Structure 1
Amino acid sequence: MGGLGIATLPPTTALALADAILALHLAIVAFNVVMPPAILAGAWRDWRWVRHRGLRLLHLGGMAVVALQAALGDLCFLTVWEAELRRGAGQHGSGGGFIETLLAEALYVDVPLAVLIPVYLGWAALSLALWWLVPPNRQGRR
């Protein structure tokens, strides 16, 4: 995102974009964390929505991105974009306000990457296994 003109953004715009990315990032993490237990519970309780093909593809795609970044030892691109926007606005660290700080504390845990990588890869493997254990409906079939 550095080549997209962050330096030319007014600081208030850069901070608003950084906050939006932080909120989006937290929503994606929550979705990726909640889906496997929801799929298992949904299979047991016969919830139809856990077999929705589009929803499952979205989840599996998100977990594939997380697993690939973990395997490469890279930071999430959303984390990088948020940090660049904050630096461009003259802010260091995550959000400065109460809500931004609360979101950042929920999202960014102080755990070594060496611990997180196996967790990310394991969660992605579980998500992939659930594709076969609780298969989504085929296109056009209810």
Structure 2
Amino acid sequence: MNPWYERVPAPALLADIVLVVHGLIVLFVLGGLLLTLIGGWRGWHWVHNSTFRLTQLAVVTVVLVQSLRGRYCPLTYWEVDLRRAAGQDGFDVSFIEYWVSNLIYYDAPAWVFTLGYTLFFLLLLLSWYWLPPRILQRWKSLQLGNKP
């Protein structure tokens, strides 16, 4: 009997990897904002980390712009293309795909997702006002003529 990895077509395995990465990015964005807000309230210094905050903003911006254009996240298209290359369709899914899909995909009209992405983006921008990243703190300091 062949091991499992010899029975799974390479595109199907890659599609599962894309799906898991997609789920981790969703967790990073949602959990990151939640922890940023909690951390701001608790006085945690890491919530001002510019790299973390800029990465989060970039990801949410891409998703929002795609949604406003009537398109899905690029990872969704990549995964679908890989599944098609593996000969998979609707119900022919792997264990990983089934569980991660149930966590991040919901059956709702497109406008619901666009509204949700927009509200989340606005909340993310408000977090930049309430808890500015260090890069904004430095910029404000320079604007006021102070040394960083």
TM interval, short-chain normalised: 0.7 to 0.9
Per the alignment, residue 111 of structure 2 pairs with 114
> Which amino acid in structure 2 is aligned with residue 52 of structure 1?
N
1:43 is aligned to 2:40: yes
Check the 8 A contact 1:94/1:101 in 2, yes or no.
no
> Which amino acid in structure 1 is aligned with residue 87 of structure 2?
G
1:53 to 37, 50, 53: 50
Per the alignment, residue 30 of structure 2 pairs with 33
Query: For the aligned residues, what is the CA RMSD?
Result: 2.2
CA positional deviation for 1:94: 7.3
CA positional deviation for 1:95: 6.8
The separation in 2 between residues aligned to 1:53 and 1:42, in whole angstroms, is: 15
The separation in 1 between residues aligned to 2:16 and 2:83, in whole angstroms, is: 9
Which structure 2 residue ranges, 5 or more long, are not aligned? Answer: 1-7, 139-148
Give the count of matched residue pairs: 132
Per the alignment, residue 146 of structure 2 pairs with none
The separation in 2 between residues aligned to 1:33 and 1:78, in whole angstroms, is: 17
Check the 8 A contact 1:53/1:138 in 2, yes or no.
yes
Distance 1:12 1:128, change over 3 A: same
Deviation sequence 1:107-129 (CA, Å, 0-9, x none): 21111111111100110111112
Identity among equivalent positions (%) equals 37
Per the alignment, residue 3 of structure 1 pairs with none
The two structures have a TM-score, normalised by structure 1, of 0.84
Q: Which has the larger radius of gyration?
A: 2
Which structure 1 residue ranges, 5 or more long, are not aligned? Answer: 1-10
Q: Which runs of 4+ in 1 moved over 3 A?
A: none
